């Protein structure tokens, strides 16, 4: 049986989640927010229209991206919590479900197949090496891209959405990331405000909206529960503690806006979920690994989805060697297979995306993770107890939460059915 057929069978059996197969995705939510914020040329589908129709009545729009807030965490909250009570439906993260991929979709409104950010480590053809998008460095030695003479515009090539919005835009981020190259790229000159705790962010956002002379768009990013889940695993009580803390802050924000009779919508969603490491656990391709002899450079991507650039004439030998080592735990697909399956979006892959993902991609079939450990970060990788970037429901399924600030506002259903023409 071919690897392509094995993946299709996994989709059909429900063992793997097929991205962008007619389901509402994070990209649809981002595009809806952009549309109601004055970006008129944004592509629309039924999901985007339904979400935009719900949001357009609000003077103020708050988009809250909670890193790692998979639907499994929402299901553990009390029924009366803000997040659980206002969850409208389960949607899908972009694939692979990992933060650089999803946040670039948030920044641009593009599918991964277009924006060409492929994982925590994205292959950069000019360096023939993987680079870290957020750290802005070459992954093999942690040398900054600035020192290497690589402008950030070469990494993230698509235009950002927020500078094009017609509302008053501001971004609220943890204080340690407000000056990062990626944040500056996403903001496009719009104000960025740092914060420490969730309650502080809620108070600052409320103050800004109360004082605003016109309609606003606020982007709020929190690194929780992701950072705790990585370190301690999804079952650790501190993970749900961080989600409950966020829920409390949302309640505070709603209360402050209601006191001033402000009409707003808080859109809460995530970049991905989480799946604890299990089975064969943490697998490695080390610096001296013989598998590297088949490659032009170390693999890129993320721990449950990796990309492999193979030397000319060595494709058959590489496939045989990879499957012998990792075939029990990972599928190995060609770039053509990935495009046929629409893994990176419904459109054809951009030329840059093709260059960055190379010849093959490996996809985890379960809880196992795999990475190149010949560069910095091996100890941290081996210590982390939960990860994401695979096609399990735990990693791919995220919530769409819509919270109105009007007292007594009814939970209006979203209509995702096709509209008739004529």
* pLDDT tens per residue across span 64-98: 999 999 999 999 999 999 999 999 999 999 999 99
Pairing relationship of beta strands 121-124 and 129-132 according to DSSP bridges? antiparallel
How many whole angstroms separate alpha carbon 222 and alpha carbon 63? 11
Q: What is the mean pLDDT of the chain?
A: 95
Which pLDDT belongs to residue 307? 98
Task: Sketch out the chain's domains with CATH numbers.
Answer: 23-109+153-275+393-404 (3.40.720.10)
Ramachandran region, residue 389 (left: φ > 0; alpha: ψ -120 to 50; beta: rest): left
Which pLDDT belongs to residue 46? 95
Whether omega before 225 lies within 30 degrees of 0, making that bond cis, reads yes
Mean of pLDDT values over 329-343 = 96
Structure token pair of residue 21: 């197969």
Residues 6+ apart with CB under 8 A from 341: 4, 7, 8, 18, 333
Which pLDDT belongs to residue 421? 31
How many whole angstroms separate alpha carbon 257 and alpha carbon 245? 19
Structure token pair of residue 255: 């209360």
For the stretch 357-412, pLDDT in tens is 999 999 999 999 999 999 999 999 999 999 999 999 999 999 999 999 987 654 55
Burial (0-12, 13-18, 19+ Cβ within 10 Å), 4: middle
How many whole angstroms separate alpha carbon 74 and alpha carbon 247? 10
For the stretch 122-141, pLDDT in tens is 999 999 999 999 999 999 99
Q: Are 129 and 150 a contacting pair, CB within 8 Å? A: no
Structure token pair of residue 65: 């991206």
How many whole angstroms separate alpha carbon 415 and alpha carbon 43? 18
Taking residue 316's Cβ as centre, other Cβ atoms within 10 Å add up to: 9
Q: pLDDT category, 273, cuts 50, 70, 90?
A: very high
Which pLDDT belongs to residue 22? 84
Which pLDDT belongs to residue 21? 83
Backbone torsions φ then ψ of 86, nearest 5 degrees: -105, 10
Residue whose pair of structure tokens reads 């979400």 in the numeric block: 51
Most distant CA atoms of the chain, gap in Å: 68
Mean of pLDDT values over 324-346 = 96
How many whole angstroms separate alpha carbon 351 and alpha carbon 225? 35
Which pLDDT belongs to residue 416? 57
Taking residue 232's Cβ as centre, other Cβ atoms within 10 Å add up to: 16
Which pLDDT belongs to residue 412? 56
Angle between helices 46-55 and 26-36 (to 10 degrees): 50
Percent of the chain with pLDDT over 70: 96
How many whole angstroms separate alpha carbon 256 and alpha carbon 200? 13
Beta-bridge partners for 266: 62, 403
Reduce the DSSP state of residue 360 to 3 states and report it. Answer: strand
CA distances from 4 to 165, 327, 332, 335, 353 (A): 41, 13, 8, 11, 20
Mean of pLDDT values over 99-119 = 98
Does residue 417 surpass a pLDDT of 80? no
End-to-end, the C-alpha distance of the chain in Å comes to 47
The predicted model scores a pTM of: 0.96
Which pLDDT belongs to residue 326? 98
Residues 6+ apart with CB under 8 A from 51: 24, 28, 29, 32, 33, 400, 414
Which pLDDT belongs to residue 146? 96
Pairing relationship of beta strands 282-285 and 369-372 according to DSSP bridges? parallel
Burial (0-12, 13-18, 19+ Cβ within 10 Å), 324: exposed
Does residue 265 surpass a pLDDT of 50? yes
Structure token pair of residue 299: 């693999």
Residues 6+ apart with CB under 8 A from 312: none
Which pLDDT belongs to residue 420? 32
Which pLDDT belongs to residue 413? 55
How many whole angstroms separate alpha carbon 93 and alpha carbon 304? 15
Q: What is the DSSP string of 127-165?
A: TTEEEETTTTEETTT--BTTTTT--HHHHS-SPPSGGG-
Does residue 204 surpass a pLDDT of 80? yes
For the stretch 139-182, pLDDT in tens is 999 999 999 999 999 999 999 999 999 999 999 999 999 999 99
Q: Are 6 and 331 a contacting pair, CB within 8 Å? A: yes
Mean of pLDDT values over 6-12 = 96
How many whole angstroms separate alpha carbon 299 and alpha carbon 140? 10
**Half-sphere CA count of 227, side-chain side, radius 13 A:** 7
């Amino acid at each position: 049986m071919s690897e392509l057929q094995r993946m299709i069978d996994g989709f059909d059996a429900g063992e793997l989640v097929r991205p962008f197969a007619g389901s509402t995705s994070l990209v649809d939510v981002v595009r809806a927010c952009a549309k109601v914020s004055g970006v008129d040329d944004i592509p629309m589908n039924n999901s985007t229209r339904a979400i935009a129709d719900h949001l357009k009545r609000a003077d103020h729009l708050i988009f809250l991206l909670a890193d790692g807030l998979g639907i499994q965490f929402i299901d553990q909250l009390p029924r009366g919590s803000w997040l659980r009570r206002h969850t409208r439906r389960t949607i899908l993260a972009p694939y692979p479900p990992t933060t650089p991929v999803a946040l670039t979709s948030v920044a641009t409104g593009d599918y991964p197949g277009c924006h060409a950010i492929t994982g925590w480590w994205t292959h950069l053809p000019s360096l023939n090496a993987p680079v870290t998008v957020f750290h802005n460095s070459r992954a093999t030695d942690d040398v900054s891209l600035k020192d290497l003479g690589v402008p950030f515009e070469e990494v993230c090539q698509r235009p950002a959405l927020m500078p094009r919005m017609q509302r008053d835009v501001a971004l609220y981020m943890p204080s340690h990331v407000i000056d990062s190259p990626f944040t500056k790229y996403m903001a496009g000159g719009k104000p960025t405000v740092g914060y420490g705790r969730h309650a502080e962010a809620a108070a600052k956002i409320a103050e800004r909206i109360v004082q605003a002379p016109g309609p606003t768009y606020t982007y709020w990013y929190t690194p929780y529960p992701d950072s705790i889940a990585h370190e301690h695993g999804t079952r650790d009580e501190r993970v749900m503690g961080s989600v409950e803390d966020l829920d409390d802050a949302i309640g505070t924000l709603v209360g402050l806006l209601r006191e001033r009779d402000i009409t707003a919508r808080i859109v809460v969603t995530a970049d991905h979920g989480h799946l604890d490491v299990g089975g064969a656990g943490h697998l490695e391709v080390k610096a001296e690994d013989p598998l590297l002899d088949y490659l032009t450079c170390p693999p890129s991507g993320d721990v449950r989805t990796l990309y492999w650039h193979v030397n000319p004439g060595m494709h058959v030998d590489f496939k045989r060697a990879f499957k012998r080592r990792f075939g029990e735990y990972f599928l190995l697909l060609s770039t053509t297979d990935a495009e046929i399956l629409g893994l990176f979006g419904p459109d054809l892959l951009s030329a840059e995306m093709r260059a960055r993902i190379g010849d093959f991609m490996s996809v985890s079939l379960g809880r196992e993770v795999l990475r190149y450990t010949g560069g910095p970060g091996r100890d941290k990788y081996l210590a982390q107890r939960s990860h994401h970037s695979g096609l399990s429901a735990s990693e791919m399924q995220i919530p769409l939460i819509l919270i109105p600030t009007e007292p007594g506002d009814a939970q209006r259903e979203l209509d995702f059915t096709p509209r008739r023409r004529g």
